[in-house]
Amino acid sequence: MSKLIISGNSGMFLRDIGAEYQEAAKNFMQFLNDQGAYSPNTLRDLRLVFHSWARWCHARGLAWFPISPEAAREYLLQLHDADLASTTIEKHYAMLNMLLSQCGLPQLSDDKSVSLAMRRIRREAATEKGERTGQAVPLRWDDLKLLDVLLSRSDRLVDLRNRAFLFLAYNTLLRMAEMSRVRVRDLEQTGDTVTLHVSHTKTITTAAGLDKVLSRRTTAVLNDWLDASGLRDHPDAILFPPVHRSNKARITTTPLTAPAMEKIFSDAWALLGKSDATPNKGRYRTWTGHSARVGAAIDMAEKQVSMVEIMQEGTWKKPETLMRYLRRGGVTVGANSRLMDS
């Protein structure tokens, strides 16, 4: 008997496994040694789901490994009965499949009873619970122009930082984690525009990364921030660091935390005196980390920018994801309708 060790920041689980699963254990230990191939968010989700699954099995006297399709089906249905969102259950399903895949074992998606259970969960979520995928409240171009007027008048350095942050987020459609990694050296000015080099995104992980040529307006806003903050002389520094109460930017290589970036959006919402939006999924009452990304996508669609171009701008891989944003934003006019009205 040997032990399969699964560890993470949130703890460690040990479990004896039989000799017939030694190859699976070896495969998974190889995965643990090669975790750099996956994003931190994926690894975090895997740990959280694994711990939830292991606790559920322990409470029922079941072995968590190997993952029994019968037990997994019951686990997923109990999550559904506990009113967890179908998207959350999909994540548990995907992570358990990932665990099996890394071990070289058949996935749950290959089992008919589990597939039928997931079909039931999706159908009941849509038809009985009236569930819709949660989406950030869009920050639109008109909102950003008004924020520009208000924030540019401020003497507070944090307001100039927030102004530049929001412009860059809207212009590039970068996700929050991607925004947090931008350094001063990633900006290259040519004439009256700046090119931003993005080392990688959630969906682009090649060594070349990608370059985004920013608008002249965004370039001007960024230059205001660089001049006021003194960051221009610190190429390795994070572009959007904390601002001290003394009205000075902290020169650091440590990115802003997710809550700090979320606060930039919620503060902007409050600055415009907006009322809380109707919450969906129990959240999204104000602008949040994805709001500029969603708003820019909707604005482009309303200006008849093609789906292909919008997907390239936002580095979306699946058109279904983008279409969900656009439908929730009220952009429903199809290509044939536009053709008939032209």
Burial of 68 (0-12, 13-18, 19+ CB in 10 A): middle
Q: Is the dihedral of CA 83, 85, 90, 96 positive or negative?
A: negative
Q: How far is CA 215 from the centre of its chain?
A: 24
Q: Is 191 left (phi over 0), alpha (psi -120 to 50) or beta?
A: left
Contact by Cβ (8 Å): 230, 243: no
Distance CA 285, CA 296 (A): 19
Burial of 246 (0-12, 13-18, 19+ CB in 10 A): exposed
Distance CA 122, CA 124 (A): 6
Q: Which residues are catalytic?
A: 175, 290, 293, 316, 325
Residues 278-308 as b/e (b if ≥16 CB within 10 A, e otherwise) read eebeeebbbbbbbbbbbbbbbbbbeeeeebe
The 8-class DSSP code of residue 243 comes to B
